[in-house]
């Protein structure tokens, strides 16, 4: 393995796993100032995976790669933010079950006006399954308890 690959790969992995709570301003997202307090949950939408950043009952930092499903359990009334960072692909969070929410706009990384976050508030108890409408293998469920 070339020296550069031996250095870059571990560095990339370390950066990904150390991102929770760190400044990610190069991607337009700064978790430290993102108000992750009670009543707020944060989910990262990246090309090829979803990650629970904070606010879910499940462990912070859990990264889910398809075909696995991300689970985020929160108290009713919680606002869940989907953060779209460093994307090269289009994304759109859409509901797929009977408990529904307004789908996110389609995120286009080539647009001059990039949408970096989308929020929904879970007012009713229940399970809110969702998927990426563009990459349907990326899916999850929000559970309001």
**Domains along the chain?**
3-144 (2.60.40.420)
Cβ count near 6 (within 10 Å): 10
Q: For the chain, what is the mean pLDDT?
A: 81
Tens digit of pLDDT for each residue in 61-112? 999 999 999 999 999 999 999 999 866 899 999 999 999 999 999 988 888 7
Q: Considering the chain, what percentage of its residues have pLDDT values greater than 70? A: 74
Higher pLDDT, 38 or 25: 38
Q: Is 8 exposed, middle or buried (0-12, 13-18, 19+ CB in 10 A)?
A: exposed
- Quick one: which of 75, 82, 74 has its CA closest to 51? 82
């Amino acid at each position: 393995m070339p020296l550069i690959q031996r250095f870059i790969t571990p560095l990339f992995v370390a950066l990904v796993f150390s991102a929770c709570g760190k400044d990610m301003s190069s991607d337009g997202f700064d978790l430290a100032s993102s108000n992750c307090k009670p009543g707020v949950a944060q989910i990262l939408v990246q090309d090829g995976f979803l990650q629970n950043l904070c606010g879910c009952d499940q462990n912070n930092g859990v990264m889910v790669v398809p075909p696995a499903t991300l689970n985020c359990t929160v108290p009713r009334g919680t606002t869940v933010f989907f953060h779209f960072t460093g994307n090269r692909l289009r994304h759109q969070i859409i509901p797929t079950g009977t408990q529904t929410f307004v789908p996110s706009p389609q995120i286009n990384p080539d647009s001059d006006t990039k949408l970096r976050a989308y929020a929904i508030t879970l007012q009713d108890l229940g399970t809110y399954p969702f998927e990426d409408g563009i990459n349907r293998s990326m899916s999850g469920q929000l559970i309001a308890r």
